[in-house]
Amino acid sequence: MSSRNDQLFDLSRKVIPGGVNSPVRAFRSVGGTPRFFTKGQGSRVWDADGKSYLDYVGSWGPLILGHADADVVRAVQDAASLGLSFGAPTEMELVMAEKLVAMLPSIEMVRLVSSGTEATMSAIRLARGHTGRDTLVKFEGCYHGHADSLLVKAGSGLLTFGQPSSAGVPADCSGHTLVLDYNDIDQVNQLFAEKGDEIACVIVEAVAGNMNLIKPKAGFLEALRENCTKHGAVLIFDEVMTGFRVGLGCVQGLYDITPDLTTLGKVIGGGMPVGAFGGRADIMDKMAPLGPVYQAGTLSGNPVAVAAGLKTLEKISAPGFFEALTARTKRLVDGINAAAHDAGINACADSVGGMFGIYFRATPPTSYAEVMDSDKEAFNRFFHLMLLEGVYLAPSAFEAGFVSAAHTDADIDATVAAAACCFEKLAD
């Protein structure tokens, strides 16, 4: 007899492309049937068959407080009772903007949108409008949403313009995008030496999370800042995933680097659809209605979503919150490393704040090429073994994981024990 998950997936594929509304949910990378979730509470989720899992996806990062946090739910209910949307200014939008400006020194002005893709797309348009230049620089393996100019893979060599990595994206849309290797300081310096005066902006996941977790090498972010400053280019930190996830000051606070523009999402919505971009006032003043760079959105600053985000930001601002979250995530990573070592499995793990990565290679990767050199098939087997043990990881070897404040030490210990069991099975 097929499970309810199987039945729902079969039905979904008849009316939704691939049966899912976002590709990675389809389990195509790992194989098998995706889980259809019916409930989340704290650190756990329940699927359509009633099986519970310890959840380390957390809606891909936003649920830093865990599922259905009582205070966040109450804030949403209170806001919804007053109206779902107005298409007009609300005081809550002002409070959110003031909160973000107060929390991140690099942001002097901010605009709210409804998704991370909107935030990055708008920030890049703003950078181009501010500089009067067209060329965009990004890094292979970094994902900044599905806007046409960002769906680009590397060309045949250094300083080669990228080619579209998705059907339906005209070559013209990617013709102004240059793709470099993440963490390669020499490439950055060479590029700016040759084309610095043509570059409108550099956008980077300051800590990468969309090719699994990758930390910046010493000097990499500094090289970006120095070159952008020297050549008048706009440095954009994409902190949609890392913003208020790795620390209260985000990546820019951890590494003491000040970007010109920052994009945010995920945590600032507390599980609801919210994005934002902000930065230097002289750049943000170029936005319509003040300036010539146009951006708009019917649901931007939605009061229900903003209420969820504000309550989340309030709770994570409590003294000691990130120290505890970072320690708990490190406890998980240390346990996984020890379990892999004891089983003789070529795997390791690493973390930053409340984010972690599991890699089937000897050491944590520092580039896209090293990520691709990992043993993907071993991860796929590990993923399904962990699923049987009641642990839900991201269904891809190229995605970071997330720990929430709702995960207890007992949850972490149970996860490590499950990992040890799975590593032993892999070793057999």
From 184, 238, 260, 411, the catalytic residue: 238
Peptide bond into 289 cis (omega under 30): yes
Cα 380 to Cα 395: distance, rounded to the nearest angstrom: 8
Would residue 53 show up in a list of annotated catalytic residues for this protein? no
From 99, 215, 266, 330, the catalytic residue: 266
Query: 330-339 long-range CB contacts below 8 Å, 24 or more apart?
Result: 331/409, 331/412, 332/356, 332/403, 332/412, 332/415, 332/416, 335/412, 335/413, 335/415, 335/416, 335/419, 336/416, 336/419, 338/416, 339/416, 339/419, 339/420, 339/423
**Chain mean position to CA 13:** 27
Classify 147 as helix, strand or coil: coil
Would residue 217 show up in a list of annotated catalytic residues for this protein? no
Would residue 266 show up in a list of annotated catalytic residues for this protein? yes
Cα 379 to Cα 358: distance, rounded to the nearest angstrom: 9
Helix 91-103 and helix 303-316: axis angle, to 10°?
30
From 143, 182, 255, 392, the catalytic residue: 143
Contact 295, 142 (CB under 8 A): no
Active site residues: 143, 238, 266
